[in-house]
Amino acid sequence: MNLKNETEENLKTLLRTVYERADWRKIAGKRNRYDIFAHKIKAASHQQSVSTFMEKLCHSLGIQSVKIDMAIIKQLEAEKEPVLKAVRRETIYYMLLALEGGD
């Protein structure tokens, strides 16, 4: 599933920001953090909007707040159906894309 470049970049930013806010030492212990993050993304992707997806994802990782430019959220929200569908269908791809070059 192909998202527009701007949408894909914004999704990467959202996922990367959430990932970086998580306390992985507390969450993962000896388990693989990528496995955990992929599972949490897929579970959250069944929400009806990008804002509730973000809320569910953050909550599942014990994150109380996250600072993301509202323009990113609004742009993703405008494309919510293809964004959430892409994340549901290609969870690992979008997770790896977001974490590329980091971690």
Question: What is the reported pTM?
Answer: 0.93
Residue with token string 């707040």: 65
In this structure, are residues 86 and 45 in contact, taking their beta carbons and an 8 Å threshold? no
Q: What's the CA gap between 91 and 30, in Å, rounded?
A: 22
The pLDDT of residue 29:
82
Please write the tens of the pLDDT for every residue from 11-67: 999 999 999 999 999 998 888 999 999 999 999 999 999 999 999 999 999 999 999
103 has a pLDDT exceeding 70: no
Closest CA to 10 of 87, 88, 102: 87
Do residues 19 and 98 touch, judged by C-beta distance below 8 A? yes
Q: Which helix (H) or strand (E) holds 64?
A: none
Q: For residue 90, count CB atoms less than 10 angstroms from its CB and return exposed for 0-12, middle for 13-18, buried for 19 or more.
A: middle
pLDDT of residue 1: 67
Residue that has been written with the tokens 């030492």 in this structure: 25
